[in-house]
Amino acid sequence: MPAYLIPSADGLPWLTLLLLTPLLGMVLVGIAGAMRLDDRIVKLGVLAWTGVPIALAALITAGFNPNATADGQAALQFVEKIPWIDSIRVDYFMAVDGLSLPMVLLTVVMTPLGVIASWGVNTRVKTHFALLLLLEAAMLGYFVALNFFFFFIFWEFSLVPAYFLIQLWGRENRRYAAFKFFIYTMAGSVGMLLLFQVIYLATRYAGAPTFDLITLGRLGQGLPVEGVTGSLRDVIFNYMQHLGVAESLGRYPLLYTSIAFWAIFIAFAIKLAVWPFHTWLPDAYSEAPVAGSVLLSAVMSKMGAYGMLRIMLPLVPDAAQYFAPVMGGLALVGIVAGAFGALANISGDVKRLIGYTSINHMGYVMLAIAAAAALPGGASQDSRAIAINGALMQMVAHGLSTGALFYLAGALQQRTGSWELNGLGGLRTVAPTFAGVMGMAMFANLGLPGLAGFVGEFFIFRGAWATLPLFTALAVIGLIITALALLIMYQRIFLGPTGEAAQGFADLRPMELWSTVPFLVLLLILGVYPAPIMNLANAAATQLVAVFLQALS
């Protein structure tokens, strides 16, 4: 194995274990179903079971060396690599690095909240919880699989449990929302699937056929790969010449990497809900059951950003650099439009409002990725790495705070029986704890200093300022408008004269309180002391952006 692949120290397949635990949990739920166990026992059992992946992830983090780099890239650790399909050189290749480990942690931490949020589910309980575990397995697999074949399988397969969660337990409009969500993501990833088949054939033509994302990433960044000369751009271009496509479309290597770039970008931009690919998001988030909203917003939307960091930047850095202003522009529109979209919903649906703020927050992540890739305007490796670090931080912070917000919105709906913000007001007097907890989640979400959201946004703005100053300056508008929208939302629920809903409105139950407190504590800790996440990701981010220090095209 090359030096940048490090198997686990004790030889155990930690990541496979991590992946299999939720699936095993699913089997256990099935057994419980066959034994006709009480639903309540199943709920408790699933909640306890979600602790196992947390423990495994914690052990993996403990054994992870964040500073390991080798051969010009961050080292991949806990590597498992087994030949899987010989005829097309597919390996079962699992590993984590600084980019994927924060996402793995986020996934395992958010799943229990999803489970708790589903406590009120009364119909087809076992199916619901089995689907939640299946979704967790698919998302975990997505973050640790490093062969395109498995990566894509998990990517697509995560849609199936999400689809059923929305379809079966969603609100009135669920059919439309689930369908749109499924078809959008599926259609978006088609281009990527085709692209990787072409890349495989191109590398085969070059003499080293592979679906290995790390090898392809090294090729794309111009790092040495055994058996191939030249970068991925040359490999693709040579193959296009061989096919004769270059004769008709033109002899510009950048053209072909650009096509590749757009194929990848659209697939992930849909998932990340970058404007104008975002229209599925408000529908899916608002129509999904609470657990669906929590997991969709907290983890699934991050799958898009992770894909961009894992595939788009390393494989086609030249095209990413070339189109960085376009990405930045789309990000900016998304930031502002998302913020105004949220503002437009202040007297409407609370879930839609939170959904739109998600579009706004994912816009910052997009902006950071664009800034990391943008042309060198004297920006140092540090600024770019800071932007990527900020993006990862923002993803984690947004996952925690939006998950908590959706959960609390669900609790609110349970009490009032409606998702509308109209007719509420003054609830702070009857439910002070509720108001406090929700206030803190909201402030974390809008980026108040001292809470984790601020750290992410601060780093993103600091990093992006160096390469895309204009976009960054304009993006600040989004900050203000989102803050406005969230504050008005808070005001309408908790402040002002007491509305009808306040009568008999119960404060947070201990269980609800204690299931949100860990997230608030995490947000506070990461807000004051962000080093745990930053240290994990820093080496990977620094190596990732090294290629962008020069003008590539």
Partner 1 sequence: MFQITDIPRILPEILLLVLALLVLGSDIFERWSYTDASRLERVRASAQLSTIGLGLIFIITLVQSGYLYTLPVDAPSNFLTNILRNLQAGGPGQGTISGAFATDDLTMIARLILIGAAFLTSMLCLDFHPTSNPAEFYALIIFSTIGMCLMAGATELVLIFLAVEMTSIPLYILAGYFGDKRSSEAGIKYFLFGAMSSAIMLYGMSLAYGFAANALGGNSTANDLTQLSKIAELAGEGNSLLTLSMILLIAGVGYKIAVVPFHGWSPDVYEGAPTPVTAFISTASKAAGFLVLFRLLTVAFPSLTGSANFGEELGGWTSMMAFLALITLIIGNLAALPQQNAKRMLAYSSIAHAGFVLLGLVAWASPQQFDRDQGTIAIVYYLVVYTLTNIGAFGGLAMVSMAVGGDDVRDLNGLARRNLPLAVLLAVSVLSLAGIPPLAGFFAKFYIFMVGWQSGAWWLVIIALITTIISLYYYLRLLRAMFIEAPASLEPVHAPAGMMTAVGVSVLGVLLIGIFPNLVLGIINRVQMVAGL
Q: Is 186 in the site for partner 1 (CB under 8 A)?
A: yes
Q: Is 153 in the site for partner 1 (CB under 8 A)?
A: yes
Q: What is the 3-state secondary structure (H, E, C) of 416-476?
A: HCCCECCCCCCHHHHCHHHHHHHHHHHHHHHCCCCCHHHHHHHHHHHHHHHHCHHHHHHHH
* Residue 149 or 494 with smaller CB distance to partner 1: 149
Distance, in Å, from the CA atom of 220 to the CA atom of 253, rounded to the nearest integer, reads 13
Q: Is 197 in the site for partner 1 (CB under 8 A)?
A: yes
- Residue-by-residue DSSP string for 401-412: HHHHHHHHHHHH
Distance, in Å, from the CA atom of 262 to the CA atom of 269, rounded to the nearest integer, reads 10
* Residue 49 or 200 with smaller CB distance to partner 1: 200
CB of 201 to partner 1, least distance (A): 6
CB of 157 to partner 1, least distance (A): 5
Q: Give the helix ranges, DSSP H, for 145-252.
A: 148-157, 159-169, 174-206, 213-220, 232-243, 245-249
* Residue 277 or 356 with smaller CB distance to partner 1: 277
Among 243, 254, 430, 524, binds partner 1 (CB under 8 A): 243
H or E, element range at 77: strand 76-85
Cα angle 314-56-50, degrees, rounded to a multiple of 5: 105
Contact 181, 293 (CB under 8 A): no
* Residue 83 or 423 with smaller CB distance to partner 1: 83
Q: Is 175 in the site for partner 1 (CB under 8 A)?
A: yes
Which among 117, 122, 414 is positioned nearest to 289, based on CA atoms?
A: 117
* Residue 55 or 190 with smaller CB distance to partner 1: 190
Q: Is 49 in the site for partner 1 (CB under 8 A)?
A: no
Choices 48-56, 182-190, 314-322, 407-415 (CB under 8 A): range interacting with partner 1: 182-190
Distance, in Å, from the CA atom of 406 to the CA atom of 357, rounded to the nearest integer, reads 12
The full length of the chain comes to 553
Tell me which residues in 154-173 interact with partner 1 (CB under 8 A): 156-157, 160, 164, 167-168
* Residue 243 or 488 with smaller CB distance to partner 1: 243
CB of 153 to partner 1, least distance (A): 4
Among 49, 152, 406, 519, binds partner 1 (CB under 8 A): 152
Choices 177-185, 258-266, 316-324, 464-472 (CB under 8 A): range interacting with partner 1: 177-185
* Residue 167 or 543 with smaller CB distance to partner 1: 167
Give the position of tokens 């529109």. Answer: 333
Torsion sign (Cα): 525, 531, 533, 536: negative
Among 9, 31, 48, 88, binds partner 1 (CB under 8 A): 88
* Residue 198 or 331 with smaller CB distance to partner 1: 198
Distance, in Å, from the CA atom of 503 to the CA atom of 117, rounded to the nearest integer, reads 24
Choices 1-9, 148-156, 322-330, 383-391 (CB under 8 A): range interacting with partner 1: 148-156
* Residue 138 or 337 with smaller CB distance to partner 1: 138
Q: Please, what is the angle between helix 350-373 and helix 324-344, to 10°? A: 160
Residues that bind partner 1 (CB under 8 A): 84-88, 149, 152-153, 156-157, 160, 164, 167-168, 175, 179, 182-183, 186-187, 190, 193-194, 197-198, 200-201, 243-244, 248
